Amino acid sequence: MIPRLRPKRESVCESKRGRKRERGQALVELAMIAPVLLIIMLGVIDFGRVYFAYVAVTNGARNGADYASGGSEAAADLEAIRAAVVADTNDLLDTSSTNPDVSVVTSTDDQGRLYADVTVQYTFTSIFDWPGLPHSVDVERTVRSRVSE
């Protein structure tokens, strides 16, 4: 008959010491991984902000082109087109009288129809200086619309 081996019983002191070691190990692991997680989180925030700026600039250019398509007088009214663009880009952080920059070019196509190109340029500035990446990026979108006669 094979004798059964009983597991060695730990004393109360030994089990508490083991738990303290595990807690210390968890703190060291957290201290090592926390900076990496923080950098990833900040990168996601900046990426989300630049994507939001791109969507806002695109919507603003579409709104300005939609206003310009109302007729030749509307296509020539730069202040009203700018107001239409700003209505969609007012949630951007670094806005000023020149940011976003709005320009309108009207011309005729090959078939003699009048069109308007509305270009919106916004200078995006990141919250953090990322090594190897520019601190500011120009987000630009041009939308062409046919001007009704």
CA distance linking residue 49 with residue 55, whole number of Å? 10
Tens-binned pLDDT, residue by residue, of the chain (149 aa): 666 766 666 555 555 665 656 667 888 889 999 999 999 999 999 999 999 999 999 999 999 999 999 998 999 999 999 999 988 888 887 778 788 899 999 999 899 899 999 999 999 998 888 888 898 999 999 999 999 87
pTM: 0.76
User: Which residues face 122 on adjacent strands?
Assistant: 139
Residue spans of the domains in the chain: they are 18-146
Residue 70 contacts by C-beta under 8 Å, 6 or more apart in sequence? 147, 148
Show the tokens assigned to 66.
């939609």
Neighbours of 31 (CB within 10 A): 9
